[in-house]
Structure 1
Amino acid sequence: QLYKLHRDRHYGTLDELFHGTVDWDLINEQWDQMVRVAAALKNRNTPPEVVVQRLASAGSADRLAKALTAFGRIIKTIYILRYIQEEDLRRGVQLQLNRGEHRHILAKWLFFANRGEFRDGDINEIMNKTSCLSLLSNAVVIWNTVHMQRIVSRLHDAGETVKQEDLARNWPLLHAHIIPNGMYDFSGC
Protein backbone atom coordinates (compact mmCIF):
# COMPACT_ATOMS: atom_id res chain seq x y z
CA GLN A 1 0.00 0.00 0.00
CA LEU A 2 1.12 3.52 -0.81
CA TYR A 3 0.59 6.53 1.43
CA LYS A 4 0.33 10.20 0.52
CA LEU A 5 2.87 12.45 2.16
CA HIS A 6 0.34 15.31 2.36
CA ARG A 7 -3.43 14.97 2.64
CA ASP A 8 -4.27 17.99 0.44
CA ARG A 9 -2.03 17.03 -2.49
CA HIS A 10 -3.48 15.28 -5.51
CA TYR A 11 -1.49 13.20 -7.97
CA GLY A 12 -3.96 12.68 -10.79
CA THR A 13 -4.31 9.06 -11.87
CA LEU A 14 -1.91 7.96 -9.11
CA ASP A 15 -4.41 9.06 -6.43
CA GLU A 16 -6.16 5.70 -6.60
CA LEU A 17 -2.92 3.96 -5.56
CA PHE A 18 -2.82 5.73 -2.19
CA HIS A 19 -4.54 4.19 0.83
CA GLY A 20 -3.96 6.87 3.41
CA THR A 21 -1.79 9.76 4.52
CA VAL A 22 1.41 9.69 6.56
CA ASP A 23 0.98 10.95 10.13
CA TRP A 24 3.71 13.61 10.24
CA ASP A 25 2.60 14.88 13.66
CA LEU A 26 3.17 11.45 15.19
CA ILE A 27 6.57 11.13 13.51
CA ASN A 28 7.62 14.58 14.77
CA GLU A 29 6.38 13.77 18.28
CA GLN A 30 8.33 10.49 18.44
CA TRP A 31 11.37 11.59 16.43
CA ASP A 32 13.81 11.67 19.36
CA GLN A 33 12.75 8.16 20.45
CA MET A 34 13.07 6.91 16.87
CA VAL A 35 16.61 8.33 16.67
CA ARG A 36 17.47 6.64 19.99
CA VAL A 37 16.26 3.28 18.69
CA ALA A 38 18.20 3.72 15.43
CA ALA A 39 21.36 4.73 17.33
CA ALA A 40 21.03 1.76 19.69
CA LEU A 41 20.78 -0.57 16.70
CA LYS A 42 23.60 1.11 14.77
CA ASN A 43 25.93 1.11 17.79
CA ARG A 44 24.92 -2.46 18.60
CA ASN A 45 23.87 -1.48 22.12
CA THR A 46 20.62 -3.40 21.69
CA PRO A 47 20.14 -6.58 19.65
CA PRO A 48 17.65 -6.15 16.78
CA GLU A 49 15.51 -9.06 18.00
CA VAL A 50 14.98 -7.29 21.35
CA VAL A 51 13.77 -4.12 19.60
CA VAL A 52 11.48 -6.07 17.27
CA GLN A 53 10.09 -8.15 20.14
CA ARG A 54 9.46 -5.04 22.24
CA LEU A 55 7.71 -3.23 19.39
CA ALA A 56 5.66 -6.31 18.44
CA SER A 57 4.45 -6.82 22.01
CA ALA A 58 3.85 -3.13 22.70
CA GLY A 59 0.26 -3.20 21.53
CA SER A 60 -1.72 -0.93 19.27
CA ALA A 61 -1.51 2.06 21.62
CA ASP A 62 2.31 2.33 21.54
CA ARG A 63 3.07 5.65 19.88
CA LEU A 64 6.70 4.80 19.08
CA ALA A 65 5.67 1.65 17.21
CA LYS A 66 3.05 3.66 15.30
CA ALA A 67 5.60 6.36 14.45
CA LEU A 68 8.11 3.80 13.19
CA THR A 69 5.36 2.22 11.09
CA ALA A 70 4.44 5.64 9.66
CA PHE A 71 8.09 6.35 8.86
CA GLY A 72 8.40 2.94 7.21
CA ARG A 73 5.40 3.80 5.04
CA ILE A 74 7.24 6.86 3.74
CA ILE A 75 10.28 4.81 2.79
CA LYS A 76 8.15 2.07 1.22
CA THR A 77 6.07 4.56 -0.77
CA ILE A 78 9.14 6.35 -2.12
CA TYR A 79 10.73 3.04 -3.07
CA ILE A 80 7.64 1.72 -4.85
CA LEU A 81 7.21 4.97 -6.77
CA ARG A 82 10.90 4.84 -7.78
CA TYR A 83 10.38 1.21 -8.82
CA ILE A 84 7.45 2.22 -11.03
CA GLN A 85 9.41 5.07 -12.61
CA GLU A 86 12.99 3.74 -12.94
CA GLU A 87 13.61 0.94 -15.41
CA ASP A 88 17.18 0.37 -14.15
CA LEU A 89 15.89 -0.24 -10.62
CA ARG A 90 13.29 -2.72 -11.91
CA ARG A 91 15.94 -4.52 -13.94
CA GLY A 92 18.26 -4.75 -10.91
CA VAL A 93 15.49 -6.06 -8.67
CA GLN A 94 14.50 -8.65 -11.28
CA LEU A 95 18.12 -9.76 -11.58
CA GLN A 96 18.36 -10.30 -7.81
CA LEU A 97 15.03 -12.14 -7.77
CA ASN A 98 16.25 -14.40 -10.56
CA ARG A 99 19.46 -15.12 -8.65
CA GLY A 100 17.50 -15.97 -5.52
CA GLU A 101 15.19 -18.20 -7.52
CA HIS A 102 18.15 -19.99 -9.11
CA ARG A 103 19.60 -20.53 -5.64
CA HIS A 104 16.34 -22.22 -4.61
CA ILE A 105 16.32 -24.30 -7.80
CA LEU A 106 19.88 -25.46 -7.09
CA ALA A 107 19.02 -26.36 -3.48
CA LYS A 108 15.90 -28.25 -4.56
CA TRP A 109 17.90 -30.11 -7.20
CA LEU A 110 20.59 -31.09 -4.67
CA PHE A 111 18.05 -32.17 -2.06
CA PHE A 112 16.79 -35.21 -3.93
CA ALA A 113 16.27 -37.58 -0.97
CA ASN A 114 12.66 -37.85 0.26
CA ARG A 115 11.68 -35.77 -2.78
CA GLY A 116 13.20 -32.70 -1.15
CA GLU A 117 10.93 -32.79 1.89
CA PHE A 118 11.82 -32.55 5.56
CA ARG A 119 9.97 -35.54 6.93
CA ASP A 120 11.34 -35.37 10.46
CA GLY A 121 9.80 -32.86 12.87
CA ASP A 122 12.94 -32.66 15.02
CA ILE A 123 14.27 -29.09 14.81
CA ASN A 124 17.89 -30.19 15.27
CA GLU A 125 17.55 -32.68 12.41
CA ILE A 126 15.98 -30.03 10.17
CA MET A 127 18.74 -27.54 11.03
CA ASN A 128 21.37 -30.21 10.31
CA LYS A 129 19.86 -30.99 6.89
CA THR A 130 19.49 -27.29 6.10
CA SER A 131 23.12 -26.64 7.01
CA CYS A 132 24.28 -29.56 4.86
CA LEU A 133 22.18 -28.33 1.95
CA SER A 134 23.66 -24.85 2.33
CA LEU A 135 27.17 -26.34 2.41
CA LEU A 136 26.48 -28.34 -0.77
CA SER A 137 25.01 -25.31 -2.54
CA ASN A 138 28.02 -23.21 -1.57
CA ALA A 139 30.37 -25.96 -2.77
CA VAL A 140 28.69 -25.90 -6.21
CA VAL A 141 28.94 -22.10 -6.33
CA ILE A 142 32.64 -22.16 -5.38
CA TRP A 143 33.38 -24.97 -7.86
CA ASN A 144 31.64 -23.09 -10.66
CA THR A 145 33.28 -19.77 -9.77
CA VAL A 146 36.79 -21.26 -9.75
CA HIS A 147 36.26 -23.05 -13.06
CA MET A 148 34.59 -20.05 -14.69
CA GLN A 149 37.56 -17.91 -13.64
CA ARG A 150 39.96 -20.46 -15.15
CA ILE A 151 38.06 -20.37 -18.44
CA VAL A 152 38.05 -16.56 -18.48
CA SER A 153 41.81 -16.51 -17.72
CA ARG A 154 42.48 -18.95 -20.58
CA LEU A 155 40.43 -16.80 -22.94
CA HIS A 156 42.36 -13.69 -21.87
CA ASP A 157 45.68 -15.53 -22.30
CA ALA A 158 44.59 -16.56 -25.80
CA GLY A 159 43.93 -12.90 -26.64
CA GLU A 160 40.14 -13.17 -26.56
CA THR A 161 38.00 -10.33 -25.27
CA VAL A 162 35.51 -11.26 -22.57
CA LYS A 163 32.73 -8.71 -22.10
CA GLN A 164 31.49 -7.87 -18.60
CA GLU A 165 27.86 -8.24 -19.71
CA ASP A 166 28.62 -11.80 -20.87
CA LEU A 167 30.13 -12.62 -17.48
CA ALA A 168 27.13 -11.07 -15.71
CA ARG A 169 24.81 -13.55 -17.46
CA ASN A 170 26.82 -16.59 -16.33
CA TRP A 171 25.92 -17.28 -12.75
CA PRO A 172 27.79 -19.79 -10.62
CA LEU A 173 24.43 -21.38 -9.75
CA LEU A 174 24.27 -23.45 -12.93
CA HIS A 175 24.26 -27.15 -12.18
CA ALA A 176 23.54 -29.25 -15.28
CA HIS A 177 27.16 -30.46 -15.25
CA ILE A 178 27.04 -31.57 -11.58
CA ILE A 179 26.07 -35.16 -10.72
CA PRO A 180 24.16 -34.83 -7.43
CA ASN A 181 24.30 -38.45 -6.30
CA GLY A 182 27.85 -39.18 -7.47
CA MET A 183 29.38 -41.73 -9.83
CA TYR A 184 30.16 -45.28 -8.83
CA ASP A 185 32.91 -47.24 -10.57
CA PHE A 186 32.52 -51.03 -10.36
CA SER A 187 35.02 -51.82 -13.13
CA GLY A 188 37.56 -53.17 -10.62
CA CYS A 189 35.09 -55.65 -9.10
Structure 2
Amino acid sequence: MPCGTWEAIHIVDGLLNNDSTIDPDTIHADTQGQSLPVFGLAALLGFDLLPRIRNWADLNFYRPDAAAGYTHIDSLFGDDVIDWDLVKRHWQDLMRTTISIREGAVSSVTLLRRLGNHSRKNRLYRAFRELGRAIRTITLLRFLNDPQLREQITAITNKAEGFHKFSDWIMIGGVLGHNDPDVHERIVKFNELAANCAIYSSALDITDAANQLAAEGHPVDFDDLATVTPYLTHTIRRMGDLVLDLAEPEQPQTRLDLEPKVLFRAGA
Protein backbone atom coordinates (compact mmCIF):
# COMPACT_ATOMS: atom_id res chain seq x y z
CA MET A 1 0.00 0.00 0.00
CA PRO A 2 1.40 3.41 -0.89
CA CYS A 3 1.47 6.02 1.85
CA GLY A 4 -1.63 8.17 2.06
CA THR A 5 -3.94 5.56 0.52
CA TRP A 6 -7.37 5.23 2.12
CA GLU A 7 -7.13 1.80 3.79
CA ALA A 8 -10.74 0.91 3.03
CA ILE A 9 -9.99 -0.01 -0.58
CA HIS A 10 -7.50 -2.68 0.54
CA ILE A 11 -9.38 -4.23 3.43
CA VAL A 12 -11.58 -6.67 1.48
CA ASP A 13 -8.72 -8.06 -0.64
CA GLY A 14 -6.89 -9.09 2.51
CA LEU A 15 -9.73 -11.43 3.45
CA LEU A 16 -10.34 -12.71 -0.08
CA ASN A 17 -6.65 -13.64 -0.41
CA ASN A 18 -6.69 -15.49 2.91
CA ASP A 19 -5.45 -19.07 2.38
CA SER A 20 -5.32 -20.18 6.02
CA THR A 21 -7.60 -22.73 7.66
CA ILE A 22 -9.44 -19.89 9.39
CA ASP A 23 -12.41 -18.56 7.43
CA PRO A 24 -13.13 -15.09 8.86
CA ASP A 25 -16.53 -13.49 8.39
CA THR A 26 -15.98 -10.22 10.30
CA ILE A 27 -13.81 -7.22 9.44
CA HIS A 28 -12.60 -4.87 12.17
CA ALA A 29 -10.85 -1.64 11.26
CA ASP A 30 -10.37 1.96 12.26
CA THR A 31 -11.97 4.95 10.55
CA GLN A 32 -9.89 4.61 7.38
CA GLY A 33 -10.99 0.99 6.96
CA GLN A 34 -14.53 1.92 6.02
CA SER A 35 -16.53 3.93 3.54
CA LEU A 36 -20.07 3.70 2.20
CA PRO A 37 -19.17 1.65 -0.94
CA VAL A 38 -17.02 -0.67 1.21
CA PHE A 39 -19.95 -1.30 3.58
CA GLY A 40 -22.03 -2.28 0.57
CA LEU A 41 -19.35 -4.47 -1.02
CA ALA A 42 -18.49 -6.21 2.26
CA ALA A 43 -22.16 -7.07 2.83
CA LEU A 44 -22.51 -8.58 -0.66
CA LEU A 45 -19.34 -10.63 -0.10
CA GLY A 46 -20.75 -11.97 3.19
CA PHE A 47 -18.44 -10.04 5.54
CA ASP A 48 -19.66 -8.14 8.58
CA LEU A 49 -17.76 -4.82 8.57
CA LEU A 50 -17.49 -3.58 12.18
CA PRO A 51 -15.08 -0.63 12.26
CA ARG A 52 -14.15 1.68 15.10
CA ILE A 53 -15.20 4.97 13.53
CA ARG A 54 -13.84 8.28 14.76
CA ASN A 55 -16.56 10.91 15.34
CA TRP A 56 -19.22 8.42 14.27
CA ALA A 57 -21.83 10.61 15.98
CA ASP A 58 -21.42 13.05 13.08
CA LEU A 59 -22.40 10.41 10.51
CA ASN A 60 -25.81 10.38 8.85
CA PHE A 61 -28.45 7.82 9.74
CA TYR A 62 -30.45 7.20 6.56
CA ARG A 63 -34.21 6.63 6.65
CA PRO A 64 -35.61 3.62 4.76
CA ASP A 65 -38.34 5.87 3.36
CA ALA A 66 -39.50 9.44 3.74
CA ALA A 67 -42.46 8.47 5.94
CA ALA A 68 -40.37 6.48 8.43
CA GLY A 69 -40.37 7.92 11.94
CA TYR A 70 -39.25 6.53 15.28
CA THR A 71 -40.59 7.27 18.74
CA HIS A 72 -37.32 7.35 20.68
CA ILE A 73 -34.49 7.61 18.15
CA ASP A 74 -35.94 9.81 15.41
CA SER A 75 -33.49 12.60 16.26
CA LEU A 76 -30.64 10.39 15.06
CA PHE A 77 -31.97 10.45 11.51
CA GLY A 78 -31.72 13.34 9.10
CA ASP A 79 -33.80 13.93 5.99
CA ASP A 80 -31.73 11.65 3.74
CA VAL A 81 -33.65 8.65 2.40
CA ILE A 82 -32.16 5.49 0.89
CA ASP A 83 -32.84 5.21 -2.83
CA TRP A 84 -34.00 1.59 -3.00
CA ASP A 85 -35.04 1.99 -6.63
CA LEU A 86 -31.40 2.73 -7.54
CA VAL A 87 -30.23 -0.40 -5.72
CA LYS A 88 -32.95 -2.51 -7.36
CA ARG A 89 -32.22 -1.09 -10.82
CA HIS A 90 -28.52 -1.96 -10.60
CA TRP A 91 -28.81 -5.10 -8.47
CA GLN A 92 -27.62 -7.40 -11.26
CA ASP A 93 -24.61 -5.12 -11.85
CA LEU A 94 -23.80 -5.21 -8.14
CA MET A 95 -24.01 -9.01 -8.07
CA ARG A 96 -21.95 -9.43 -11.25
CA THR A 97 -19.25 -7.17 -9.83
CA THR A 98 -19.28 -8.98 -6.47
CA ILE A 99 -19.01 -12.41 -8.12
CA SER A 100 -16.15 -11.17 -10.32
CA ILE A 101 -14.28 -10.04 -7.20
CA ARG A 102 -15.03 -13.29 -5.36
CA GLU A 103 -13.77 -15.35 -8.34
CA GLY A 104 -10.64 -13.22 -8.69
CA ALA A 105 -11.53 -11.81 -12.10
CA VAL A 106 -11.16 -8.28 -10.77
CA SER A 107 -9.46 -6.93 -7.67
CA SER A 108 -11.56 -5.12 -5.07
CA VAL A 109 -8.73 -2.58 -4.85
CA THR A 110 -9.03 -1.81 -8.56
CA LEU A 111 -12.80 -1.53 -8.31
CA LEU A 112 -12.86 0.66 -5.22
CA ARG A 113 -10.24 2.97 -6.68
CA ARG A 114 -12.51 3.48 -9.67
CA LEU A 115 -15.45 4.00 -7.34
CA GLY A 116 -13.67 6.79 -5.48
CA ASN A 117 -14.98 10.23 -4.71
CA HIS A 118 -14.07 11.38 -8.21
CA SER A 119 -16.64 8.96 -9.66
CA ARG A 120 -19.79 10.22 -7.99
CA LYS A 121 -21.60 10.27 -11.36
CA ASN A 122 -20.73 6.61 -11.88
CA ARG A 123 -23.97 4.61 -11.57
CA LEU A 124 -22.23 1.57 -10.08
CA TYR A 125 -20.57 3.78 -7.48
CA ARG A 126 -23.93 5.32 -6.59
CA ALA A 127 -25.53 1.88 -6.25
CA PHE A 128 -22.75 0.59 -3.95
CA ARG A 129 -22.93 3.81 -1.96
CA GLU A 130 -26.71 3.57 -1.59
CA LEU A 131 -26.49 -0.03 -0.37
CA GLY A 132 -23.67 1.03 1.95
CA ARG A 133 -25.88 3.72 3.45
CA ALA A 134 -28.39 1.08 4.49
CA ILE A 135 -25.76 -1.33 5.84
CA ARG A 136 -23.87 1.37 7.76
CA THR A 137 -27.07 2.72 9.32
CA ILE A 138 -27.92 -0.79 10.53
CA THR A 139 -24.37 -1.22 11.87
CA LEU A 140 -24.51 2.09 13.77
CA LEU A 141 -27.85 1.10 15.31
CA ARG A 142 -26.36 -2.25 16.35
CA PHE A 143 -23.43 -0.36 17.84
CA LEU A 144 -25.77 1.82 19.91
CA ASN A 145 -27.95 -1.07 21.01
CA ASP A 146 -25.35 -3.68 21.96
CA PRO A 147 -22.77 -2.88 24.69
CA GLN A 148 -21.02 -6.23 24.08
CA LEU A 149 -20.55 -5.34 20.42
CA ARG A 150 -18.97 -2.01 21.39
CA GLU A 151 -16.62 -3.83 23.78
CA GLN A 152 -15.75 -6.38 21.09
CA ILE A 153 -14.88 -3.71 18.51
CA THR A 154 -12.76 -1.78 21.02
CA ALA A 155 -10.98 -4.90 22.30
CA ILE A 156 -10.13 -6.23 18.83
CA THR A 157 -8.86 -2.91 17.49
CA ASN A 158 -6.86 -2.34 20.69
CA LYS A 159 -5.15 -5.71 20.10
CA ALA A 160 -4.10 -4.52 16.68
CA GLU A 161 -2.87 -1.21 18.11
CA GLY A 162 -0.96 -3.12 20.80
CA PHE A 163 0.78 -5.25 18.18
CA HIS A 164 1.74 -2.19 16.12
CA LYS A 165 3.13 -0.48 19.23
CA PHE A 166 5.13 -3.59 20.15
CA SER A 167 6.44 -3.93 16.58
CA ASP A 168 7.51 -0.27 16.60
CA TRP A 169 9.33 -0.81 19.90
CA ILE A 170 11.18 -3.91 18.71
CA MET A 171 12.27 -2.36 15.41
CA ILE A 172 15.96 -1.45 15.56
CA GLY A 173 16.69 1.88 13.93
CA GLY A 174 13.06 2.73 13.29
CA VAL A 175 13.78 4.61 10.06
CA LEU A 176 13.10 3.54 6.48
CA GLY A 177 16.25 5.02 5.00
CA HIS A 178 15.66 3.89 1.45
CA ASN A 179 13.07 4.80 -1.18
CA ASP A 180 12.94 1.35 -2.75
CA PRO A 181 9.49 -0.18 -2.00
CA ASP A 182 11.01 -3.69 -2.09
CA VAL A 183 13.38 -2.67 0.70
CA HIS A 184 10.45 -1.23 2.64
CA GLU A 185 8.54 -4.49 2.28
CA ARG A 186 11.49 -6.57 3.48
CA ILE A 187 11.99 -4.31 6.49
CA VAL A 188 8.32 -4.53 7.44
CA LYS A 189 8.23 -8.32 7.00
CA PHE A 190 11.43 -8.90 8.99
CA ASN A 191 10.18 -6.53 11.69
CA GLU A 192 6.89 -8.40 12.00
CA LEU A 193 8.74 -11.73 11.98
CA ALA A 194 10.93 -10.56 14.89
CA ALA A 195 7.85 -9.24 16.73
CA ASN A 196 5.96 -12.51 16.25
CA CYS A 197 8.94 -14.55 17.45
CA ALA A 198 9.20 -12.43 20.59
CA ILE A 199 5.45 -12.67 21.21
CA TYR A 200 5.52 -16.46 20.74
CA SER A 201 8.44 -16.81 23.14
CA SER A 202 6.67 -14.68 25.76
CA ALA A 203 3.46 -16.70 25.33
CA LEU A 204 5.42 -19.92 25.98
CA ASP A 205 6.96 -18.38 29.11
CA ILE A 206 3.51 -17.33 30.34
CA THR A 207 2.21 -20.86 29.67
CA ASP A 208 5.08 -22.41 31.63
CA ALA A 209 4.55 -20.02 34.54
CA ALA A 210 0.80 -20.72 34.68
CA ASN A 211 1.36 -24.49 34.50
CA GLN A 212 3.98 -24.29 37.25
CA LEU A 213 1.62 -22.36 39.53
CA ALA A 214 -1.15 -24.89 38.88
CA ALA A 215 1.23 -27.80 39.55
CA GLU A 216 2.13 -26.26 42.91
CA GLY A 217 -1.53 -26.10 43.87
CA HIS A 218 -2.12 -22.40 43.32
CA PRO A 219 -5.45 -21.54 41.66
CA VAL A 220 -5.05 -19.79 38.30
CA ASP A 221 -8.13 -17.76 37.52
CA PHE A 222 -9.17 -17.26 33.89
CA ASP A 223 -9.93 -13.56 34.38
CA ASP A 224 -6.50 -12.98 35.94
CA LEU A 225 -4.75 -14.88 33.16
CA ALA A 226 -6.64 -12.87 30.53
CA THR A 227 -4.96 -9.68 31.77
CA VAL A 228 -1.46 -11.02 31.05
CA THR A 229 -0.21 -9.71 27.72
CA PRO A 230 2.45 -11.33 25.51
CA TYR A 231 3.56 -7.85 24.40
CA LEU A 232 6.21 -7.77 27.12
CA THR A 233 9.23 -5.52 26.70
CA HIS A 234 11.05 -5.60 30.05
CA THR A 235 12.12 -9.24 29.51
CA ILE A 236 13.67 -8.56 26.09
CA ARG A 237 17.24 -7.37 25.58
CA ARG A 238 16.50 -5.42 22.45
CA MET A 239 20.16 -4.52 21.81
CA GLY A 240 21.54 -7.83 23.05
CA ASP A 241 23.13 -10.66 21.10
CA LEU A 242 20.96 -12.07 18.32
CA VAL A 243 21.96 -15.74 18.05
CA LEU A 244 20.73 -18.05 15.28
CA ASP A 245 20.55 -21.59 16.67
CA LEU A 246 19.72 -24.14 13.98
CA ALA A 247 19.65 -27.09 16.39
CA GLU A 248 16.38 -29.02 16.59
CA PRO A 249 14.43 -27.39 19.44
CA GLU A 250 12.55 -29.26 22.12
CA GLN A 251 8.82 -29.49 21.62
CA PRO A 252 7.41 -26.46 23.44
CA GLN A 253 4.55 -26.74 25.91
CA THR A 254 1.71 -24.82 24.33
CA ARG A 255 -1.21 -26.19 26.35
CA LEU A 256 -2.28 -24.73 29.67
CA ASP A 257 -2.42 -27.70 32.03
CA LEU A 258 -4.75 -26.13 34.57
CA GLU A 259 -7.40 -27.59 36.82
CA PRO A 260 -10.65 -28.45 35.00
CA LYS A 261 -12.56 -26.02 37.18
CA VAL A 262 -10.47 -23.12 35.94
CA LEU A 263 -10.05 -23.08 32.15
CA PHE A 264 -10.66 -26.58 30.82
CA ARG A 265 -13.97 -27.46 32.38
CA ALA A 266 -15.27 -31.00 32.22
CA GLY A 267 -16.58 -31.72 28.74
CA ALA A 268 -15.12 -28.49 27.32
TM-score normalized by the length of structure 1: 0.81
Pairing 1:13-92 to 2, within 5 Å after superposition = 14-19=73-78, 20-56=80-116, 59-92=119-152
CA distances 1:129-160 after superposition (whole Å, capped 9, x unpaired) = 21221111111111112222222222333344
Moved more, 50-59 or 35-44: 50-59
Cα displacement (A) at 1:13: 6.4
Give the Cα–Cα distance (whole angstroms) in 2 for the partners of residues 153 and 43 of structure 1.
46
Moved more, 72-81 or 168-177: 168-177
Give the Cα–Cα distance (whole angstroms) in 1 for the partners of residues 76 and 120 of structure 2.
25
Matched, 1:110 2:170: yes
Give the Cα–Cα distance (whole angstroms) in 2 for the partners of residues 104 and 166 of structure 1.
24
* Count of residues in Structure 1 that have an aligned counterpart in Structure 2: 182
CA distances 1:78-125 after superposition (whole Å, capped 9, x unpaired) = 111211221111111111122122112212211242xx3324333222
Matched, 1:7 2:34: no
CA distances 1:134-187 after superposition (whole Å, capped 9, x unpaired) = 111111111112222222222333344333322322222222211211159xxx
Q: Which amino acid in structure 1 is aligned with residue 149 of structure 2?
A: L
Give the Cα–Cα distance (whole angstroms) in 1 for the partners of residues 101 and 169 of structure 2.
38
CA distances 1:10-68 after superposition (whole Å, capped 9, x unpaired) = 23564443352211111111112212222233333433233334434983222222111
The residue aligned with 2:228 is 170
TM-score normalized by the length of structure 2: 0.60
Name the CA shift for 1:119/1:13 in 2 (closer, same or farther; >3 Å).
Answer: farther
Give the Cα–Cα distance (whole angstroms) in 1 for the partners of residues 100 and 112 of structure 2.
13
Bigger radius of gyration, 1 or 2? 1
Give the Cα–Cα distance (whole angstroms) in 1 for the partners of residues 62 and 230 of structure 2.
40
The residue aligned with 2:37 is none
Unaligned runs of 5+ in 2: 1-58, 243-268
The residue aligned with 2:161 is 101
Give the Cα–Cα distance (whole angstroms) in 1 for the partners of residues 62 and 161 of structure 2.
30
CA contact (8 A) 1:144 1:172 kept: yes
> What secondary structure is seen at the aligned counterpart in 2 of 1:90?
helix
